[in-house]
Structure 1
């Protein structure tokens, strides 16, 4: 598998750090210092950015599958995963403006075809997975997944924040902690998607060289 130099990894890490720093500054200026009160509702910058990051992740996976033409099964499964997460993040709007339970139907409609396709090509999927298992992209994906779908849920439990703040419990503090943690996780997933796209391009170029 194509490897990365220390200089390349360090430069990308610097860009990712700058991205996170800018993101947190924006959250501070817009949501935390909201003119009326701190706002981490469905219309907050934090929530909108979460949706935007998931959308970008989905697009990057589709580019890998359709344009780069390698890791087709892995990218399909990840595209479905990101798209489902995007739908779940916007469940309130879908239930309000479409119909109650709309997001659940959309999840089923996206998940089933992707899973069936990967199951039919499971041998190719496992071969592709072996190409990314030790990559920077997969490491970032694992970190983002654990941060967003495991840690943020545990960290955002009301019981924890009631225990920490006691009689001074403020719901906005709990919401801010949970939503910002999720935003961090989604950022890691975006970084993972970028790295997987770059890896896919390197794999494609190597195959073209070998074929030539």
Structure 2
């Protein structure tokens, strides 16, 4: 059956001044996160193990929640409904995973795995069913700055942080000086960096879809 591809998005360039302003904001955001981690280690010795109620863990949940809310922005859902749905599924699944301690303790062991499956399976099924639409949307999104940031955030969070936080590697590096705190700090801080990149990518996506709509509205 012949399908009609989506119309390509209009050109929506970013001015140099706007790019510089956003770069400054993102630098300040990342710097604020790291300063918070520093204060957590300095003034909250009970949280130095990066426990569930520490700044780092709470910040991870806050960043993921903000990303999920931004993906519900009308312009995003209107312009890239299928792509944004998959992004939202990944973000929500990550947010659920960050609550594993509470879910396993207050619901049942393995609760977070069940909830993640209930989130991912329907979204993946819908994306597969609408795969032609997804491919058309991806053509529009794949060459954007937002996609590059999202891909980087995905690699940092789900690949690099997992490998970087391996106990065996830190035992090999620190030898007899090994403490689990080093391993926890390396993994959790790197994970927060990855989540921050995902948040910035979603912010850029919101701005991109709004520029598309503004460009279409021009005579």
Q: Report the TM-score when normalising by structure 1.
A: 0.92
Do the aligned residues in 1 keep the contact of 2:83 with 2:134 (CA within 8 Å)?
Answer: yes
Match of 1:16 in 2: 26
Q: Does 1:75 align with 2:81?
A: no
Deviation (angstroms), 1:156: 0.6
Do the aligned residues in 2 keep the contact of 1:68 with 1:200 (CA within 8 Å)?
Answer: no
Q: CA RMSD in A?
A: 1.7
Q: Does 1:141 align with 2:150?
A: yes
2: distance between equivalents of 1:160 and 1:35?
A: 25
Question: C-alpha deviations, 1:140-195, integer Å up to 9, x for none?
Answer: 11111111111111111111111111111111011111111111111111000100
2: distance between equivalents of 1:79 and 1:132?
A: 15
Gaps of 5+ in 1: none
Deviation (angstroms), 1:39: 3.3
Q: Does 1:159 align with 2:168?
A: yes
1: distance between equivalents of 2:216 and 2:129?
A: 24
1: distance between equivalents of 2:47 and 2:82?
A: 45
Match of 1:170 in 2: 179
Do the aligned residues in 1 keep the contact of 2:64 with 2:95 (CA within 8 Å)?
Answer: yes
Q: Report the TM-score when normalising by structure 2.
A: 0.89
Do the aligned residues in 1 keep the contact of 2:147 with 2:201 (CA within 8 Å)?
Answer: yes
Match of 2:39 in 1: 29
1: distance between equivalents of 2:30 and 2:153?
A: 13
1: distance between equivalents of 2:72 and 2:42?
A: 34
Trace 1:79-90 onto structure 2 (pairs within 5 A). 79-90=88-99
Instruction: Between 125-134 and 37-46, report the one with greater CA deviation.
Output: 37-46
Q: Secondary structure at the match of 2:151?
A: helix
Gaps of 5+ in 2: 1-10
Deviation (angstroms), 1:108: 1.6
Say if 1:176 and 1:32 are closer, same or farther in 2 by CA, change over 3 A: farther
Q: Does 1:102 align with 2:111?
A: yes
Say if 1:69 and 1:33 are closer, same or farther in 2 by CA, change over 3 A: same
Match of 1:201 in 2: 210
Match of 1:59 in 2: 69
1: distance between equivalents of 2:53 and 2:41?
A: 10
